[in-house]
Structure 1
Amino acid sequence: MTTILLYLLIGVGLAVLSGVAKGSMRRLVIGGGLGILVAFVAFPFSRSSGFLSRETVDPTLLALVPTFPLLLLIPLLIVATLYLALRGGGLVAWAGVIGGGGIALGGLIWYAQPAQVVRLAPISGLMEGLAALVLVVAVALLAQSHPRLRLPIYAVAALAGVLAFAWLSSSSGGHTYLPRMAGYYKLLMPTGPQTERKLVEDYNAAIPQKNAILKEIGQPTLEPITSLADLKGSIPQEASEAGYRLLQPARTQYGALALFVLAGLMLGAGLMGLRHPNLQAAGDLPSGMIFAGVVSILLPAFEATEFQLQKLVKGWPFLVGFFHKAWPPNLANPDANIFPLQSVLSEMALTIEIALVGTFLAAIFAIPSSFLAARNLTQGSAFMRGVFAFMRGFYNVDRGVDTLILALIFVAAVGLGPFAGVLAMAIHSIADLGKLYSEAIENVDKGPIEALESTGAAGVNVLRWAILPQVLPLFVSYTLYRFEINFRVSVVLGLVGAGGIGYFIKGAMDAGNYDQMIIGVIAIVIVVNLIDFASSWLRSRLV
């Protein structure tokens, strides 16, 4: 309960700070309401446990409605709050107070419910339908830039959606390649006290047979139970396999964080609105939608990445010990014939050379290909338009494959060493440089081009005297910038065996020689700054 109240206070505090800064309170009410609506449908709120940890299901508030119908008041309150907030005036403050307070109260009532046995009820076709709908919307959006083809595009979108849904729903299609999609969204249905009694009786009846097996293998025997609570958060294996789960409302997930913080935000905005009713703006609806969208994207991302500052606190002793072992740097140990500083200087030079060669090769291939990827130079015929589409497609595919992945492939193909790093860096940089070069070509001044064409100059002369003088300074600037990036990338490539200073750092780390590894880190910082200052100076002289 303390954590829940803390979430509420955080929301209220954020609203108060925004009000002190003269921010719009209506925007917070709208954004908070829309965010809670997303959390109601999509964010896990509580936990229901099976026999094994992998059988755990974290239901959303919508999935909990069959078990606790009172939760339906939350979306109803949100709809009423949004209606009043959009009307503006003094209603906004009362909408925030009533809506935020009511939603928080509903969440607290659910939080106080006892644990109970529920039955999973998967909703077939829901995720398949949502995936097909996303495809329909993506294709239909193309009609915005092609108004004359609107009806055919809509027809293609509808057909694509139907085919996608049929494939995703088939046992030989989507359910084979994406098995988790089938019945992914599950409702939790109530079962009643008699179900728990039956599960307890079945569990106790099977204990003698299980204990006989446990005694043979020397394991502790099981004791009879009077309720599923005696199993400490799990249920018998047979019940779990039959689709039953032990629902524990008090074990909240990140959906609870979203609901209570946003409810506190609405409540705080409403209270501030009662005191300052003029804290409203004309664009509150789109701003609130953007706010809700950002929350809906970031919160699951933080959860998926297991972002927990507690882990950093627990790992702090290691960090302290690491820095203690890393300082002072061990520049040389002649007695052991170890000279880390010399190794760092050699590997740093190799790292710079990898970046230089990779960038040079990429520029050599990117310059001619960029002219074929420039829209203004390839619209003269159907063949050239096809070449343009091919080059842009190549750039997109090449940029989609990260340098690290290419390095792993080339290390396996050509072995450890800098050659693999050069190949990976050059191939990936072709697309990045080519895209920048082609965009620079597309933005050239048309005046010199038209002047030369009016005199009957050939295409090569137009390229030489009208386009190149305009784009060459930008080409050099982009190449220098890419070299900076490639140097940093080459450090990481060394960690996978592609040579350079990264390879030295990895070896020192693996051997526990932190006082040698820190020399490489210091060298990287120094060289990065030197390259940054030098390339910035050169770009300022060229552009």
Structure 2
Amino acid sequence: MSGLLFYVLLGLLLAVLAGVAKGSMRRWVVGAGLALLVVFAAFPFSRARGFLSRDTVDPTLLALVPTFPLLLLVPLSVLVALVLARWGGRAAGLGGVLGGVAAIIAAGWWYAQPAQIVRLHPVEGLIELLIALGVAASIALLSFSRPKQRVPILIGAVVAGVLAFVWFHAPQGGGVYLPKSLGYYKLLFPTPPATQQEIAEAYNRALPELNAIRKELGQDELQPIRSLADLQGALPQQASSQGYRLVQPATTQYGAFAVFFLAGLMLGAGLMQLGSPRLQEPDDFRAGILIALVASFLIPAFDATEFDLNKLVVGWPFLQQFADRAWPPLLADPAAERYPLQEVLSQIAVTVQMALVGTFLAAIFAMPLSFLAARNVTAGTPLMRSVFYATRLFLNVLRGVPTLIIALILVAAVGLGPFAGVMAIAIHSLTELGKLYSEAIENADKGPVEALESTGAAGVNVVRWAILPQVLPLFISYTIYNFEINFRSSLVLGLVGAGGIGYFINEKMASGQYDQMMVGVIAIVVVVNIIDFASSWLRSRLV
């Protein structure tokens, strides 16, 4: 419980700091409240165990409401706080205090409950509905930029949403490809005492056979239980297969830390608002929605990436060992006939050349493609419009494939070496430069174009004398900047066998020769800075 209280204090501290800086407190009340609603419905709070680890379920607070109805106090108090926030002043502060305290009490009370047996009840169709709404909303967003076509787009969005729902819900539809999505959201209902006793008796009956197996494996025998409260860890297999789970409120997930942090933030902002009612601004609700969106995406991202500073503490001995073995760098060892500096300079030159050749090839092919991908150049005939859409689709699809993936494919096709790296850089840079070049062409001044067209000049002459002189400086600037990016990309490509200094560093790191690897790292830092200053100077001269 002390860990959860720490998050409450952390939220309070953030609110106090924002208040000392004279920031609006009402926006934090709104933001924390809206984020709490998301956490209540979507973030796992506790853990419910079955027989095997794959049977484990991490329920949200909403899923636990049938078992512990007091948890409804969280969304109800937040809704009251949001209503009071509309009034502003001390009313908004009072709402923040009530919402924060109610969330802490309800969630803390559930945390203090003993372990108990629950029954899973999947909510059928919920995930399918959310996917359908996402599809419909994505299409509906197009209507804002096309007001004249708004009605057909909205109708298409509704139709697409309905089709998505039907397809995912069909027996041979999306469930075949995404089986975990069907019935993914599960509510937890309490189990009657008589049912729990039946499960305990079934466990005791199967115990002799289970103990015989454990004895052969050299494990300790299990003792009969009087009730399911005596269970340690997991449920019996039969009970687990029937949908029962052992829920452990004190076994918290990242949603628990989010609840207590946001509740503390809401409480602290409410207290600051009560003390200073003028700490509010007209756009607090818009800012609160933005805060809630950031929190809703950021909190699960920290959990998904297993962010844990304690791992740095555990790994600190290796970092010390690495530093001791990496410094000073080994420039040369004539006795052993090792010359790292000479090898690094050679590989750095290869890396620069990879980026140079890849960028050159990309620029050569991107220039004609960019004119085909520009709206103002291809607006003449239906054929040219189809060419425009095909070119844009090609650039968008290929740009979505990372350079590293392209390099892996090419290394498998043509073998190890810098050629695979050059082609990977050229292919990916082609899409990036094509996109940038086309946007520069679309933003070109229409005056010279219309002047040449009025004289009856051919399309090629219009491009040559009206568009190209305007966009050529931008083309040069984009190409130089892309070269900088490609040099950094070529460093990573070496790690997958595409040659260059990255391959050298990967080889020395794998063999534990950190003092030689450090020579490559220092060389990279120096060359990156040289390229950065040189490209900045060149752009200032040419553009």
TM-score (norm. length: structure 2): 0.97
Q: Which amino acid aligns with 1:461?
A: N
C-alpha deviations, 1:117-150, integer Å up to 9, x for none?
Answer: 1111111111011101111112222222333333
Matching of residue 175 in structure 1 with residue 180 in structure 2: no
1:117 counterpart SS class: strand
Find the counterpart in structure 2 of residue 212 from structure 1: 212
Find the counterpart in structure 1 of residue 526 from structure 2: 526
- Equivalent residue runs for 1:383-532 within 5 Å: 383-532=383-532
Find the counterpart in structure 2 of residue 317 from structure 1: 317
Q: Which amino acid aligns with 1:459?
A: G
Q: Which one is further off, 374-383 or 463-472?
A: 463-472
Rounded to whole Å, the distance in 2 between the matches of 1:232 and 1:501 is: 54
Q: Structure 1, unaligned stretches of length 5 or more?
A: none
C-alpha deviations, 1:61-84, integer Å up to 9, x for none?
Answer: 100000001111111111111111
Contact 1:366 1:431 in 2 (8 A): yes
Find the counterpart in structure 1 of residue 99 from structure 2: 99
Find the counterpart in structure 2 of residue 360 from structure 1: 360
Q: Which amino acid aligns with 1:106?
A: A
Contact 2:116 2:229 in 1 (8 A): no
Contact 2:89 2:274 in 1 (8 A): no
1:90 counterpart SS class: helix
2:499 counterpart SS class: coil
Rounded to whole Å, the distance in 1 between the matches of 2:212 and 2:254 is: 42
Give the share of equivalent positions with the same residue, in percent. 65
Q: Which amino acid aligns with 1:38?
A: V
Q: Which one is further off, 103-112 or 292-301?
A: 103-112
Pick closer, same or farther for the CA change 1:215–1:485 going to 2, 3 Å.
Answer: same
Rounded to whole Å, the distance in 2 between the matches of 1:517 and 1:170 is: 56
Find the counterpart in structure 2 of residue 242 from structure 1: 242
Pick closer, same or farther for the CA change 1:211–1:38 going to 2, 3 Å.
Answer: same
Rounded to whole Å, the distance in 1 between the matches of 2:500 and 2:390 is: 35
C-alpha deviations, 1:169-198, integer Å up to 9, x for none?
Answer: 122121110001011000011003333332
Rounded to whole Å, the distance in 1 between the matches of 2:469 and 2:148 is: 40
Find the counterpart in structure 1 of residue 375 from structure 2: 375
Residue 47 of structure 1 deviates from its aligned partner by 1.0
Rounded to whole Å, the distance in 2 between the matches of 1:229 and 1:343 is: 67
Contact 1:234 1:246 in 2 (8 A): yes
Find the counterpart in structure 2 of residue 110 from structure 1: 110
Contact 1:204 1:225 in 2 (8 A): yes
2:89 counterpart SS class: coil
Residue 12 of structure 1 deviates from its aligned partner by 1.1
Pick closer, same or farther for the CA change 1:311–1:231 going to 2, 3 Å.
Answer: farther
Residue 216 of structure 1 deviates from its aligned partner by 4.0
Residue 152 of structure 1 deviates from its aligned partner by 2.7
Pick closer, same or farther for the CA change 1:217–1:92 going to 2, 3 Å.
Answer: closer
Find the counterpart in structure 2 of residue 275 from structure 1: 275
Residue 357 of structure 1 deviates from its aligned partner by 0.7
Residue 230 of structure 1 deviates from its aligned partner by 4.4
**RMSD of Structure 2 on Structure 1 (CA):** 1.4
Matching of residue 302 in structure 1 with residue 302 in structure 2: yes
Rounded to whole Å, the distance in 2 between the matches of 1:226 and 1:424 is: 66
1:377 counterpart SS class: coil
Q: Which amino acid aligns with 2:299?
A: L
Residue 510 of structure 1 deviates from its aligned partner by 1.1
Contact 1:117 1:195 in 2 (8 A): no
Q: Which one is further off, 441-450 or 114-123?
A: 441-450
Contact 1:215 1:221 in 2 (8 A): yes
Q: Which amino acid aligns with 1:142?
A: L
TM-score (norm. length: structure 1): 0.97
Residue 221 of structure 1 deviates from its aligned partner by 3.1
